Amino acid sequence: MSEITMRIWRGDSAGGAFADYVVPAVEGEVVLDVVHRIQAGPAPDLACRWNCKAGKCGSCSAEINGVPRLMCMTRMDALPTDSPVVLAPMRTFPVIRDLVTDVSFNYAMARQVPPFTPRPPDASDGTYRMQQIDIERGQEFRKCIECFMCQDVCHVIRDHEENKAHYAGPRMFIRYMELESHPLDVNDRRELLRQRMGLGMCNITKCCTEVCPEHIKITDNAIIPLKERVVDSSYDPVAWLGRAILRRTKRSAAEAAADAPAHRNPTREDVGAGVPDA
């Protein structure tokens, strides 16, 4: 029977090192299966997250041979067998232990999003009418399983911890674009995106799009259109004139931010999950 070598990073916030585990190869397995066999055998305390094991929950993100992927959807027979399979935690987030990282940054950013604000129902029965074609862009973004791999590969924060305080990242940009394109939403988050969410810092290298397991066209369908809308709202003379004539002002970043839950009611996730404030 052939064997495979898994080279897995073991450690915590204080540091760590790669350890090799040699296990028999089994037909049809994915990387997560092998991790589970290692847990059941030589390393019972090997930490990793997982839930659905079917690519639907986005829990088991890791860097496999240097590339962020879901462990549950990466077949062993798709990886080179002549060298060890290298498993490391996502680099952009602080390590908790082994393959588990502290992803609370993403939850904190989610709390900065001014929530969905629907217009009143239009149909006589008190519900809404929407055409399929008008919701398909939003549905594309709502496929997001929050694996946070787009955040992991984003250059703006991958090696720049200092940017995290004012950069929402690709996952949140698709959330903003989802709300922007939602047929019912009436909120205006453009100035917030420009001034506080760091939309301008993205230089559209499309790394996020490349790693998305749901094949969401993050850059082309979310970030670039968002940039256009934000620029239009700031610099387009026609839009400016329209606002002047209609005496309607854009919502400022501060006004939009005031709607966000993080500004009203900071919670545990803003300070980091799993770090109890004893």
Q: List interacting residues with other proteins (CB under 8 A).
A: 12, 26-30, 33, 39-40, 44-59, 73, 75, 96-98, 100, 102-103, 107, 110-111, 115-116, 118, 126-132, 135, 138-139, 142-146, 179, 182, 184-185, 261, 264-265, 267-269, 273-276, 278
Structure tokens at 119: 């217009």
Distance between CA atoms of 107 and 169, rounded to whole angstroms?
Answer: 12
21 vs 227 by CB, closer to other proteins: 21
Nearer to other proteins, 18 or 50 (CB): 50
Q: Find the helix packing angle between 224-235 and 170-180, rounded to 10°.
A: 60
Residue 88 parent element (H or E): strand 85-88
Q: 170: closest CA among 137, 131, 144?
A: 144
Closest approach, Cβ 52 to other proteins, in A, equals 5
- Is the Cβ of residue 138 or residue 169 nearer to other proteins in the bound state? 138
Q: Are 116 and 128 in contact (CB under 8 A)?
A: no
Q: Residue 194 is encoded by which pair of tokens?
A: 């420009």
Please, what is the minimum distance in Å from the beta carbon of residue 240 to other proteins? 30
Least Å from the CB of residue 46 to other proteins: 7
- The nearest distance, CB 35 to other proteins, in angstroms, is 10
Tell me the C-alpha distance between 60 and 89, whole Å: 10
Other residues' Cβ atoms within 10 Å of the Cβ of residue 35: 26
Residue 205 CB, shortest distance to other proteins, in Å, is: 25
Residue number with CB closer to other proteins (29 or 236): 29
